[in-house]
Amino acid sequence: MVRLREVLKHPDEFHVLLKLKLAVRHAEKQIIPPLDHPHWGFCYTLLNKFTNGGTTLLLQPFEPQLRNVVETMDDYEEYCHYVTGPIGIGMFKIFEASGKQDLAPENLSSIMGVFLQKTNIIRDYLEDISEIPKPRMFWPREVCSKYVNRLEDLKYEENSVKAAQCLNEMITDALKHVEDCLKHMSALKDNGVFRFCAIRPVLAMGTLALCYNNIDVFKTGVKLRPGNKDLPQS
C-alpha cells in the first residue's frame, strides 16, 4: 500500500518506474543463476561481496600502519594472504560447488595465491617504485634494510650487488611455497580445473627463475615470454 500511495503521488513517473522495474527483473534473471547451477550462484555471491566494499574488506584486518607500509616479514605474509588468499579459497569453493573437485584445505588454497602475489611483487619492483605521485612499497623493510637504507635505493647502479642479494632473498622466500603448490595441484582431479590452476603457478616459477640474480629487475623490469632463452637450462 505504501508503494501504491507513492506511485499515485507521482503518476507522471509511473511509466518510467515500471520500465525500470522490468529492466531490473530482466537483469536479475541474467545475473542470478538458477538453483540447479550452484557454482554460478557462488560466483555471483563472491563477486557481489568483492564489488560492494571489497577494498574495505581486504584492508580491515590490518593495523592502520600496515595499510601504508610493510615493515616485517609477518606483515608481508599477512598482506599477501589477505590480498589473494580469500580469492584462492573462493575459487576452489566454486570448483567444489560445480562437482568437479573436492574442497581443498583452506591453507593450501591460500598458499597458491600467496605464492602468485609474492612473485608479482618481486617482478613488479620497478613499476611499483616508479609509481606517481607516490611509490608503492611492498618489499618488507626487515629484508631491504639489510642491504640499503631505502627501498628505492635498490635501483641505483652503485647498489647493484646488494640489490641482487636482496632480490635473491625475496625469491628464496617465495620459493618456500612451491612444494605446497605442487602438492595442491597434484590433488586436482579434473583436467580442465588442473590446466586452469596450474598455468599461473608454473609461469610464476619461470618468472622467479628469470628474476633470480637478475639486476634487470631494478633497471628495465623483466617479463617471462614464450620461448624465453634467458631461463636457466637444466
Q: Could you give the residue numbers annotated as active site?
A: 79, 123, 136, 196
Give the separation between CA 29 and CA 22, rounded to whole angstroms.
Answer: 11
Residues 6+ apart with CB under 8 A from 81: 110, 113, 114
**What ranges in the chain are assigned the alpha helix state H?**
2-9, 14-31, 38-51, 54-59, 73-98, 106-123, 125-129, 141-144, 160-175, 178-186, 191-211, 216-219
> 209 near 184, Cβ under 8 Å?
no
Is 97 exposed, middle or buried, given 0-12, 13-18 or 19+ CB atoms closer than 10 A? middle
Q: How long a stretch of residues is the chain?
A: 234
Query: Which residue from 112, 110, 142, 140 is spatially nearest to 125, judged by alpha carbons?
Result: 140
What torsion do the CA atoms of 87, 88, 92, 95 make, to the nearest 10 degrees?
Answer: 60
